[in-house]
Amino acid sequence: MTVILEAVHAVKPLTNTAFDRWVDLYGEIVVPAMARSGYGLLGGFKRTGGPMNEDVLLARFENLAAVEAASDALRRDPGMAKLRERMEGLTIQETVNIGTAVPYATDARLEKQLAAKPDASRQYMQAVLGLVSGGQPKAFELVGKLADWAEGAGALNLTTAYESRFGRRGVLTDIWLMPNGIRSFDYRPGDPLAEIIAPLREVAPDESSYYLNPLPYSPLQ
């Protein structure tokens, strides 16, 4: 059972200088400490959309016991004390979501993007879907079909996807690579792929999306 840990850090004050400093500290101190503690770092991104000055961290574990062991080890790592000493002037609020990988989020899809060595950082998108009670099987089937279609069309490449296991239940998060970058926001009438989207909205009536740009220490670039 692959477990995905998602951590969102809200950085204050809301300035580029503060965010840059946080990114530098995280890459210098926290990322090596996570490696020592057993975190399988997948990605670190600046998130655009919604509140300002947020980053998103994704890490992979074999099971929930591995998450607990790595979290305990990270708290004891001497690097975290060093981080606290250098945080003057910064306020960080962390929100953690722990989820399990869903059936269409295959290892092959994730490993393909991890293995890529692009000349420049690529654009990703985070889609967060709210599912109705009992709607998971149908949602998984339909988003899996959507992922197959999008990859075949060269529009989007699914990187990973996970359903929250704690806190608010019925939350499905998809991480997509946007190989062509952000598309135009021009109004486009019509409902492409209605045969997938219409039934998907019956089981996933709510959706929010954010754009993710890889940070220097992110394995996913």
Mean pLDDT of 125-130: 97
- 2 and 60 in contact (C-beta within 8 Å)? yes
Q: Give the Å distances, CA to CA, from 20 to 12, 13, 215.
A: 11, 11, 10
* pTM of the predicted model as reported, rounded to 2 decimal places: 0.94
pLDDT in tens, 56-115: 999 999 999 999 999 999 999 999 999 999 999 999 999 999 999 999 999 999 999 999
Q: How confident is the model at residue 1 (pLDDT cuts 50, 70, 90)?
A: confident
Which DSSP helix (H) or strand (E) runs through 178? strand 171-178
pLDDT at 121 over 90: no
Count Cβ neighbours within 10 Å for each residue of 149-182 and write b for 16 or more, e otherwise.
ebbeeeebbbbbbbbbeeeeebbbbbbbbbeeee
Q: What is the pLDDT of residues 49-69, one digit of tens each?
A: 999 999 999 999 999 999 999
Express as a percent the part of the chain with pLDDT over 70: 99
| CA separation for the pair 212, 125 (Å, rounded) | 5
DSSP of 86-98? T-TT-EEEEEEEE
Q: Categorize the per-residue pLDDT at 42 as very low, low, confident or very high, splitting at 50, 70 and 90.
A: very high
Phi, psi dihedrals of residue 218, rounded to the nearest 5°: -75, 125
- Mean pLDDT (the chain) is 95
Mean pLDDT computed over 140-161: 95
- Of 13-17, 27-31, 149-153, 173-177, least confident by mean pLDDT is 149-153
Collect all residues with Cβ–Cβ distance below 8 Å to 76 and sequence separation of at least 6. Answer: none
Task: Look up residue 74 and give its two tokens.
Answer: 């990270």
Average pLDDT over residues 194-220: 95
